[in-house]
Amino acid sequence: MFQLAYTSKANQAFLLDELTELSNDAGMRNRKIDVTGMLVHHDGTFFQFLEGNELVIKALYKRISQDSRHTNCKIIYTQESNTRMFSNWFTRYLSFEYIREITGEELSEDFEELLAGKIENKDEVMRIVNKLTSIVSSHHSD
Ligand SMILES: Cc1cc2nc3c(=O)[nH]c(=O)nc-3n(C[C@H](O)[C@H](O)[C@H](O)COP(=O)(O)O)c2cc1C
């Protein structure tokens, strides 16, 4: 299992509908190639976490990073792992407002720094993503 997370800048304003469509489409494609993860958009920045077969993830990232809807793709995390963090999410979209609502001030501030590109330490990225998934999982059973 290979995990990759990146941040990027949106090239256009995204309406919620468009984000939902983008992540639904991504989720359907990712399901076919056994890729799981999540996508967050806030203030013109994307954060995406992808996990699956290493070659598949690398090829997917290459395709995503060439998408004209965003630029400045920057990998902030890569890791080999024995387990999936997002075992049943084929690219789930989370809004920052939702994250703030369920995680509270401290984690949402961490997440804001992550989106702003201020956190590049791998362990820190993992700590934040880990905490986020455990809180989100306890709120949702899908
Ligand atoms: C922020 C962002 C995240 C994306 N995430 C995925 C993804 O996880 N999986 C995917 O197949 N496509 C994703 N896409 C769409 C791809 O860039 C691409 O448009 C899509 O895979 C279709 O590729 P194709 O036109 O070469 O077939 C994403 C696009 C953006 C802008």
Residue range 47-77, pLDDT digits in tens: 999 999 999 999 999 999 999 999 999 999 9
> Do residues 86 and 140 touch, judged by C-beta distance below 8 A?
no
Q: Where are the domains of the chain?
A: 2-139
Mean pLDDT, to the nearest integer, of 112-119? Answer: 89
Q: Whose CA is nearest to atom 9 of ligand 1?
A: 26
State the pLDDT confidence band at 79, using cuts at 50, 70 and 90.
very high
The amino acid at residue 28 is M
- Ligand 1 test: best mutation among 20, 29, 47, 65, most atoms within 8 Å of CB? 29
Q: What percent of the chain has pLDDT over 70?
A: 98
Q: Which two tokens stand for residue 86?
A: 């997002």
Q: Is the pLDDT of residue 14 over 80?
A: yes
Integer Cα distance of 107 and 91 in angstroms: 21
DSSP states of 29-81 as a string? HHHHTT-EEEEEEETTEEEEEEEE-HHHHHHHHHHHHT-TTEEEEEEEEEEE-
Q: What is the mean predicted confidence (pLDDT) over 89-112? A: 84
| Residue 106 Cα to chain centre, angstroms | 19
Q: Indicate if ligand 1 lies below 6 Å from the C-beta of 69.
A: yes
pLDDT at 142 over 70: no
Q: Is ligand 1 within 6 A of the CB of residue 9?
A: no
Residue among 50, 64, 72, 115 to mutate when testing ligand 1 (max atoms within 8 A of CB): 64
What CATH number belongs to 2-139? 3.30.70.100
